[in-house]
Structure 1
Amino acid sequence: MKKILIVLTNTTRYGETTDPTGLWLGEATEFALIMQQAGYQVDYVSPKGGFVPLDPRSMKYTDAEVMAFYETADFQKRALTASLAPDEVNPADYIAIYYAGGHGVMWDFPDNPELQQLAVSIYKNHGYVTSVCHGIAGLLNIKIDGQYLIAGRKVTGFTKAEEVLAGKQSVVPFFNQVAAEKRGANFVKQRAYKEFAVQDGQLITGQNPFSAKAVARLLVKNLKQVS
C-alpha cells in the first residue's frame, strides 16, 4: 500500500516581524490520525527538512486526541524534529500529498519548486493533491503541462474574511483566496470557521483549521474506492 506525504512549514515568524508562527498543530495531527486509522502510513516533509515550528496559538485549540498524537515519539521526531527534505522523498511511494497549514506556509510553500515537482509526480501517477486552510498556498503555483493545476478547478482554503477575523490581514504577504482566483480557480467557501471540504477530481481542499478531518475523510473514501 502506498503512503501519504504530509507537507509542513519551516517558517518560525510572520515575515520580518518578531511574531511567532509555524504549523497549525491540529491540521497535521487530525489528518494524520485518520489516515493511520484507515491503515495508511504517513511521512512528513518540509521545504528545508528537519525542524518544524508550531504556531503557539494552535496549542490553544487542541483536544485530548490532538494532544495524545502530538505527544507520541513518532510525531515528535518524524514531523517536528527530523522531517524529510524534498530530495529525500521518492514520489512513486505516495498515493497522495497533503499540505497542512498555519500562517508560516505562506512564506515557504508557494515558490518551492521541489515540493511542486513532488506534487506533479504524484498527481500524474493518479494520486491526490490535497490541502487544508493556508496549505492551499502550496497549490498556487503548481503547473501541469504549463497550466496552473487549480485553474478552472473547484477549490477552497482560508478565506479573505477569515484572515480579517484572525487579525492577520496586515501581515500576510497575500490572501490565499485572491491568489487562487487570480490563477483561475473556482474558489468556493462556506461560513467562516465552519468545517468544509471540496473535491474536484484528484484535488481535495479544506477551508480552515476545522476542516482537516473532512479532507482526510474524503481522501480515505476515494482511496478505498480504488484499492
Structure 2
Amino acid sequence: MACPRVAVVLTSTARFGESDRPTGFWYEELAAPYYALTDAGVGVTMASIAGGQPPADPASLAPPAVTDAVDRFRTDSDALARLAATEPVAGLAAIGLDGIILVGGHGTMWDFPDSPPLAELLTAVLARNGTVGAVCHGAAGLLNTQVAEHPAVRGRQLTAFSDAEEELVAATSLVPFSLEQRLRALGARYSAGQPFAPHVIRDGQLVTGQNPASSAQVAALVIESMRQAPTTSTRP
C-alpha cells in the first residue's frame, strides 16, 4: 500500500469534569504510535476535538510514565509544532484517510463520546474498509460509532482501560462512567489483561489496546491492517 494516511485524534478536555484534577491526552499513547507510523512511512495528520493545542495530562510527563518515545517527541520540533496546531475533527474527511488512531487519556471520557463529528468520521472510515485503532481511554470514541445501523463494537473482541486499572489510579469516582462496562453494555466482547501490562486485540478493522504499554503495538497492528485491506468505497 503506497503512502497510507492516518489521523491521530486527541482529546481537548483538560479537567476531570468539574474537579480540579488535571487531565488531557496521555503522552506515551501519542508518542509511541506517532513514531511507529512515521518511521514506517505512514502520513500522519494530528487532530483533536477542538483543534489547536490539546492538553497533556501532567501525570503522563512524570518520570515513571516517560518513555524513550516521549523523550523523542518532546525534543522533536516538527512533532511539537504539529501538536500545537492540530486540526479540528470536524474538519477531517474520511475520503483521505486509511486509518484513525484514538489516543487515550482521561480527557477522552468527556469529549470523545459527545462529539458527533468524531462518531461520523469513525463510521465513515470503517465504511470505507479503513482501520480504527484505540488506545486505553481512546476507546470512548467508539461508543457512539455505528456500522450498518448498530454499534460498531457489538460482537467485536476488544479491550480498553479496565475497571481494575481505574481503581488503581484513583479515578473511579471521577470519571463520568465505566468505559469497560459501557463497552460491554453495547455488546462488545471485552477482555482485559493484567493491569498496566501490554494487551492488544485486533478484530478485523478494529485494533484496541488496554493501556499506555499497549500503544506501540496498536500502531503496528493498524499498519498491518491497512496494508492487508486498502480502503474502498464499500461497507465492511
- TM-score for both structures, normalised by structure 1: 0.96
2 CA distance for matches of 1:110 and 1:87? 14
Displacement of 1:226 after TM fit?
A: 4.4
Question: Which residue pairs with 2:13 in the alignment?
Answer: 11
**Counterpart Cα distance in 2 of 1:88 and 1:114:** 9
Pairing partner for 1:168 from 167, 171, 179: 171
Instruction: Verify: 1:25 aligned to 2:27, yes or no.
Output: yes
Letter in 2 for 1:119: L
Q: In the alignment, is residue 104 of structure 1 matched against residue 118 of structure 2? A: no
Give me the whole-angstrom Cα distance separating, in 1, the residues matched to 2:69 and 2:206: 27
The equivalent of 2:223 in structure 1 is 220
Alpha-carbon shift at residue 67 of structure 1 (Å): 1.3
Matched residue of 2:98: which SS? strand
Superposed counterparts of 1:41-190, under 5 Å: 41-60=43-62, 61-79=65-83, 81-190=84-193
Q: Quick check: 1:2–1:93 contact (8 Å CA) kept in 2? A: no
Distance 1:195 1:87 in 2: 32
Instruction: Note the aligned Cα RMSD (angstroms).
Output: 1.2
Q: Which amino acid aligns with 1:144?
A: V
Task: Give % identity.
Answer: 35
Distance in structure 1 (CA, Å) of the matches to 2:157 and 2:139: 12
Deviation at 1:115, TM superposition (A): 0.7
Q: How many residues align?
A: 226
Aligned-partner SS, 1:164: helix
1:77 shift after superposition: 2.1
Structure 2 unaligned residues grouped into runs of 5+: 231-236
Cα distance in 1 for partners of 2:111, 2:81 equals 21
Q: Confirm or deny: 8 A CA contact 1:21 1:55 kept in the other structure.
A: yes
Unaligned regions of 5+ residues in structure 1, if any? none
Instruction: Tell me the TM-score normalised to structure 2 length.
Output: 0.92
Task: Name the counterpart of 2:234.
Answer: none
